Chain A
Amino acid sequence: MDFDEFAGRYVGDLIRLGMAMTGSQSDAEDFAQAALERIFSQWGKVESAENSWAYARRVAVNAFLASRRRPQVREVLGSASSRSEPASDPIDATWGDGSLDAAISRLPKQQRAAVVLRYFEDLDARGVAEVLGVEPATVRGYLTRALATIRSECYPTANGAS
């Protein structure tokens, strides 16, 4: 498999992962592009990796964590006719006022990455730790804090959370 084939196969997955991570189409595309740039520059390693998607995912997440993109920046336009932008808040349709989506976006990057890897990519603590390059205990800490934050923001009166 050469780079073009690899990129063609995984760019959609990278954009979706970027959407889960950022909630923004433009940021998701940037996320995928940054990942592919890094992958291209170290293609030899990617090519020989046992699980190429796992490698690509790790590269993408680490590029995201190293980036300095603006938090919660949402694409406003572009060529309107060329886009099929979702509703202003993509989670609105499934989650009331969108507070959960907003709470996710407000999480610190490390916590957000851990949450996405855990609940979107469905990795266990060890898997998340491998992607992030930290110990599983650290991942558990990220997740505990992230869930506590989300719970307190979305369910301020539930379960005694404040």
Chain B
Amino acid sequence: MSDRSPDSTPSLGPIGRLQETVSQFFHPIAFRAVETTGELTHACRLVYEEYLKRTYIAPNPWQMKLSLYQALPSTTTFLAVHQHHGLVGTVTLVEDSPLGLPMDEVYKAELDEMRRQGLRLAEATMLALRSDLFGTGVFTMFHSKKLMLTLRLFKVMFDYLRSCTQADELVACFNPKHQMLYDFLSLKPLGGLKTYPGANSHPAIAKHLNVAQTRQQATATAPYKLFYGSTPSASDFTKKLRLSAADLLQLFIRETPILASASPTELAYVKQCYPSYPIQEMLRDDLSHQPPVLKPFQQP
């Protein structure tokens, strides 16, 4: 065969070497839930940096994409962690709660309709990969490493969804330019094109996936063959981060004003989630806090 590519990109030689290279790429990468606040901080920084590059968010002084949803015990952030290079990708799953979901900001009517049907929702959000891994202009659907990195992140999130939550529907909203990826994952239309203030007023569309139906299609599509290739277990997530009072104080009060700016209703729900934490006292502590010292990212 020719060693010249029809797309004029540099050749890596025989196909066996290509497979080996993809295998080598993934071998040192672990896909798992966040285990420390340092990792959570790192993930929020990665999302911030990548979204800022694309103007999906406005700059903020704490340089993280962090919200009240991440203070909730029902929100889980997942990582792709490279043995030598640290965090290379992340995605977050927000389970529905009295605070709603991030995408309620623009798709509340559509989500409420599902809630009225008794469906339990969870939102996939804050997907980000280190863009310097692949260079510019790389289209996910054509690039095995980028595609598989994205899907492996979705898989660990989906494993958690299946084994640790009661969610019936996975929902997501995203820039329409990513629609092909979500179509590939067989997500169905949920909401049409809207302007998303939470994404710096970029356009967004919403889609959903019925978890039970994916099981019926487990061998029908390539992504589902990946997702259902192994049986998830709740024990895979026993090390998942449980925020301590000190973590909440550090991340959501000292480093950011998130808890201080929460509404009374929101604050009441956070207190309900952490009944033993002295949230009110912690908020008062904000008035006399010391400059935070960020913990370094812990390699696996």
The reply to whether chain A is a binding partner of chain B is no
- Residues of B with Cβ closer than 8 Å to A? none
